[in-house]
Every structure is written in structure tokens, then in C-alpha cells.
Structure 1
Amino acid sequence: MEVIEALAILILVIAIIILVYYYLLNSPETAQKLRSIVPNTADAHMDEVLGKKSDYDDLSKDKAAAGEGSDSMSKKIKIKLSDIDMSSLNTDAFSSKLDAFLDVKSDELIKDWSLATTNDLNELESKFGETTGKVDNLEKSFDEFRKSSEEFQKVTEEKLASLDERIESLENK
């Protein structure tokens, strides 16, 4: 797989992930199903960490300190996706920004990755056509040379034969 194909696949995967994310975000039925499937706590002792009522509260911590610390920490850590304004983010804007980026950086990408453009392909096709024509001309010239050399060889053989005959006639005298 070439680099451009890998880049295209990566862009498509990212776009699909973004679309699935927005679909899940904007469909309350699906979000409710996900909340029912995903457990509230991932660990048996997570309730203690989050400051919820536990059988072990009076053994290890002060109840007031535990409640305040976990509330403030959970407020700092917990961010609800519904609180984030997603109306300004959409796939069309992302696509247009990506297209603008590729338009601006296309020359650099082509140069850095040694990519071929349609102009390069057209130039190669014209050079190929020119080369093919020259090879055909060379082939015709070679065929003509071969024919003329065969004729020259026949004429030369005839002259040599006549010279041989003359030499033999002189020798026999």
C-alpha cells in the first residue's frame, strides 16, 4: 500500500469515528442504552473512592473530609459531553478545512513524497509516444540498411566471382 492510500484510509477512519461520535452524541436513545450497558463503577471499591456510602467509611476516613474531597475532585475530573457545545463542530467544516489544508500544502506534499501528478503523467505519455516513434524510425532504417547490405553483398560476391574468373583465366594462360 502506498503512502497516499494509507493517508486516504486514515482520513476515512477518522471521519467515520467522528460521525459515529456525533451520532451517539445526538441520539438520546442510543446514549441511554450505552449508559444502561456500561456499569456505574468499574471496581467493587470504586464507591469508596468516589465518596459514596460504603460499609468501610467509619473504619478508615472522616466522613465529612471524604465527602468534600471526592466532590471537589469529581467536579474537576468529570466533564459531561453534553456540556460541550458541539454545534460549531461538524464534518462539513472538518472536510472543508482538510481540503483547504491539502490545497495549500499540495505542492509541498507532492515534492516531499515524490508523488506524480497528472501533468507528470501527460509529460511521460508524450515522451513515450516520441520514443516509440523514434524506435519505429530506427527499425525502418535498420530494415533498409539490411536490405541494402544484402544487395551490396550480392554485388560484391558477383564482382569477386568475376575477379576469380579473370584471375583463373590469367593463370591458365
Structure 2
Amino acid sequence: MDATEAIAVIILIIAIVVLVYYYLLNSPSTLDKIRNYVPTSADAHMDEVLGGNPSDLVNNEVAAEEGSGSMTKRIKVKLSDIDMSGINTDAFSNKIDAFLDAKSDELIKDWSLATTDDLEDLQTKFSETTNNVDELEKDYKEFKKSSEEFQKVTQEKLDDLDKRIESLENN
């Protein structure tokens, strides 16, 4: 696997994780099912994460950020500041598609990707090369045939000269 393929796989995995995250946030029934599977005693803050009001989490995290200033709490605050009520997977997918459409030329150039135009160019070059090889093979066969004829004629002339030389030597 090339580096570009690995990067593409990583980007797809991240996109899938983000889509699942948004799906879980926007569907309360799925969140209830997750609460049934995940034990609540696993973490002291699990009840805050799985249940409760999201605005309470934001307020708690902002207060905690002011106190400790750790990077993870800053990230949680930034993620919790996003209004998730208006975001759905279709809109997110459309935004990703729009971004890829806008940046497709840069991505193709940076990742050295092949486009259908590139493939068509390669196909025309391949067919031209095939035709040229066929023509060269035909020319070679004609040359070989003419060369064999030339060798026969030359051999006949040499044989004729040998006979004449022998006849002159015998006389």
C-alpha cells in the first residue's frame, strides 16, 4: 500500500467516525441503546457524558478549563460549542463533497492521482504504440523476405562464379 492509499484510508476512517458521532448525537433512541450496553460505573464522569443536558456539560467544561487548562478539556469545549441540532449526516456529506469538488484539482496534483482524461491519453498512446509495433513487425518481415531473396541471388551468383573459376583453372 502506497502512502497516498494509506492517507486516503485514514481520511475515510476519520470521516466515518465523524459521521457516526454526529449520527449518535442526533438520534436519542440510539443513545439510549448505548446507555444500556455501556456500564455507568466504568468512569466517574460517564453519567455526564451519556446523560444530562449538553449545556450543563458546556458550562462544567468551561469552568474546568479556566481552572486546569488541559488540552483535552479545551478540545471538549470546542466540540461542545458546536450546535449539533442543525447538523445531519446528509449536510455533512454534502459539505465534504463540495470541499472535494472545490479542491479536486489540488488533490489530484498533490497525490498524483490519475483522472479519466489521463486514462484516455494513455489509451490513445497505447493504441498508437501498438500500431507502430505492428507496422515495424510488418516491415521486418518484408525486410527478412527480401533479405532471403537477396541471399539466394547472391549465392547463385557466387556459385556461378565458382563454376567459371573452376572451368578456367581446368583449362
Give yes or no for TM over 0.5: yes
Which of structures 1 and 2 has the bigger CA Rg? 1
Percent of aligned pairs with the same residue? 64
Corresponding residue for residue 154 of structure 1: 152
Corresponding residue for residue 17 of structure 1: 17
Q: Normalising by the residue count of structure 2, what TM-score does the alignment of the two structures yield?
A: 0.67
Correspondence list, 1:42-61, <5 A: 42=43
1:107 aligns with 2:94: no
Correspondence list, 1:67-78, <5 A: 76-77=63-64
**Deviation of the 1:169 alpha carbon:** 1.0
**Deviation of the 1:82 alpha carbon:** 9.1
- Structure 2 distance, partners of 1:142, 1:109, is 46
Q: Note the residue ranges of structure 2 that are not aligned, 5 or more in a row.
A: 46-58, 65-72
- Structure 1 distance, partners of 2:153, 2:61, is 108
The 3 A distance-change label for structure 1 pair 169 and 150 is same
For 1:24, give the aligned amino acid.
L
- Structure 2 distance, partners of 1:41, 1:75, is 24
Corresponding residue for residue 92 of structure 2: 94
Corresponding residue for residue 122 of structure 2: 124
Kept after mapping to 2: 8 A contact 1:15/1:91: no
- Structure 2 distance, partners of 1:156, 1:139, is 25
Q: Could you report, residue by residue, the CA deviation over 1:111-130 in whole angstroms, capped at 9, with x for unpaired residues?
A: 22222111111111111111
Secondary structure of the equivalent of 1:89?
A: coil
Cα RMSD after superposing both structures: 3.4
Kept after mapping to 1: 8 A contact 2:19/2:89: yes
From 159, 162, 165, the counterpart of 2:163 = 165
**Deviation of the 1:138 alpha carbon:** 0.7
The 3 A distance-change label for structure 1 pair 34 and 41 is same
For 1:123, give the aligned amino acid.
D
Corresponding residue for residue 134 of structure 1: 132
| Structure number with higher relative contact order (C-alpha < 8 Å, ≥ 6 residues apart) | 2
Q: Could you report, residue by residue, the CA deviation over 1:21-78 in whole angstroms, capped at 9, with x for unpaired residues?
A: 23433444554565574446847xx9xxxxxxxxxxxxxxxxxxxxxxxxx9777139
- Structure 2 distance, partners of 1:105, 1:97, is 12
Q: Normalising by the residue count of structure 1, what TM-score does the alignment of the two structures yield?
A: 0.66
For 1:76, give the aligned amino acid.
A
